[in-house]
Amino acid sequence: MLGITGYGAYLPKMRLQKQVIANANAWFDSGLKGLAKGEKAICNWDEDAITMAVEAFNDCCGKTPGQAPNALFVASTSLPFNDRQNSVLVAEALNLDIANLRTMDVTSSQRASTSALLSALDMAAAGKNAVLVASEHRRTKCASREEMLYGDGAAAISVGGDDVIAEFITSQSQAVDFIDHFRGEGHDFDYGWEERWIRDEGYMKIVPSTVNTLLEKAGIEAGDIAHFILPTDMGRVPAMVAKKLGINDGAVADNLLQSVGNTGTAHAMLLLAHRLEQAQPGDLVLVVGFGQGCDVVLFKVTEAISGYSANRGVSGQLARGKAEENYNKFQSFNNLLVKELGKRSEANKQAYLSAMYRMRALTNSFMGGRCTQCDTVQMPKHKYCVNPECGAYDTQVDHPMVGATGHVDTWTADSLTFDFNPPAYFGMVTFTGGGRIMMDMSEVEPETFDTGSEVSVHFRIKQLDHQAGFRKYFWKAIQV
């Protein structure tokens, strides 16, 4: 049997209240009011498709270093690098066994994630395990329909042949150059066409024809589908398509438009993960990816689902949100404003690539050192042991710290140094299993944060260089 072996999700903690977008723009487009219900997940300034991919993988597979899937695929249309394989950075941040790993970025369409899922399933059919992470950080124009409807988030699906929780039955794909929207080279934002046309000529025709071919091939009635996943930002479309196909109303997956927003190519996997949380053994799950054609993938939930428990999962991610009512902050974090950042923001941001390569065990993987003579864990790894009682030369071996938790010894909220989300919190963190380092912090809740607070470490953006189109990453402490 081959199929899905696990799922996970990540949603940024910040949830922008859609009403604030509508209110700010009401003078210009009062029509936005109609979309102003609920909230959407938005990235902090130090989050992007890469950092969310790392989190979603962890939610799916845990933080244990040295995991060895045969392949890691990252699907996204908002990857920070056009030429630097993003999935490799994700793999290093995850401390995967990179010496034996196939990686691939899958992009350029809203159905990139279903296409990547199919490739992963092909690998599984060849006896290999693969993990697909779909992640999207969506930038939109001010006062646009997309601004009301898009959200940021990521989901991970692992596939293989053991402990399958949803068996892969079959799939059907077709390629059609139907352009509901596009984003051309050198352009930041989506350019779309009239919704009614997209609905009638796109969703209502291309999806049913693909699904019907699949159902026929699989010998399954539409009414047998227990979970129908059609990601879209057009709220009524899934039910309309389901009705046309003869799929039961109750099977139609909620698109989470009022709690997350449409997370682009991540959305199919996010909704799949969400439905798997609620699925029963025997349920048929139909996943649709729509964009320049259509992928349809059919799964059957197995008995193993009963024994499976996700970490946070989509429900946990939905529950951990924090309402954000500052529209200006959202625009600032997405570089949508011509903003005075101050002279301190003009620091040299040069990426010294050779130094970055040397330092990447620490920066990409949060690798420490452990002295084989006295067992002292230290960060960074060093030629000489830091323990004054030991001081041994060249005795340290790699000691992964990604899963470590620790407590805050010292800290401050720094308003002088430049930060996209001031004040900048940083301080000394001592880890429970040994090791300590002075590090940046993120997502600080001033009401509960203080000396002694427990923290875990998370891969985040350290510095953005909009001029060079580069960004550096490092690990930040976040209160547990």
Give the footprint of other proteins on this chain (CB under 8 A): 342-344, 346-348, 352, 355-356, 358-359, 362-363, 376, 378-380, 382, 386-388, 408-419, 423-424, 426-428, 435-440, 450-452, 462-463, 472, 474
Q: State which residue, 264 or 435, has the beta carbon closest to other proteins.
A: 435
DSSP strand pairing (284-290 vs 225-229): parallel
Minimum Å gap between C-beta 464 and other proteins is: 12
Q: State which residue, 24 or 392, has the beta carbon closest to other proteins.
A: 392
Minimum Å gap between C-beta 343 and other proteins is: 4
DSSP strand pairing (436-440 vs 424-431): antiparallel
Minimum Å gap between C-beta 200 and other proteins is: 51
Minimum Å gap between C-beta 66 and other proteins is: 22
Minimum Å gap between C-beta 336 and other proteins is: 22
Q: How far, in Å, CA of 201 to CA of 425, rounded? A: 51
Q: State which residue, 302 or 378, has the beta carbon closest to other proteins.
A: 378
DSSP structural state of residue 88: H
Locus of tokens 């809203």: 110
Q: How far, in Å, CA of 156 to CA of 129, rounded? A: 13
Q: State which residue, 308 or 431, has the beta carbon closest to other proteins.
A: 431
Q: State which residue, 252 or 464, has the beta carbon closest to other proteins.
A: 464
Q: How far, in Å, CA of 67 to CA of 37, rounded? A: 41
Q: What angle do CA 134, 138, 143 make, to 5 degrees?
A: 155
Among left, alpha and beta (phi > 0; psi -120 to 50; other), residue 34 is: alpha
Say if residue 208 is preceded by a cis peptide, omega within 30 of 0. Answer: no
Q: How far, in Å, CA of 72 to CA of 91, rounded? A: 7
Q: State which residue, 158 or 364, has the beta carbon closest to other proteins.
A: 364
Please return the burial class of 331, using the count of CB atoms within 10 Å of its CB with bins 0-12, 13-18 and 19+.
Answer: middle
Minimum Å gap between C-beta 361 and other proteins is: 11
β-bridge partners, 384: 393
Of 188, 189, 137, nearest in space to 14 by CA: 137
Minimum Å gap between C-beta 357 and other proteins is: 11
CB 150 within 8 A of CB 107: no
CB 118 within 8 A of CB 112: no
Q: State which residue, 196 or 343, has the beta carbon closest to other proteins.
A: 343
Q: Among the residues of 76-111, which ranges form H helices? A: 86-93
Q: State which residue, 140 or 442, has the beta carbon closest to other proteins.
A: 442
Minimum Å gap between C-beta 330 and other proteins is: 21
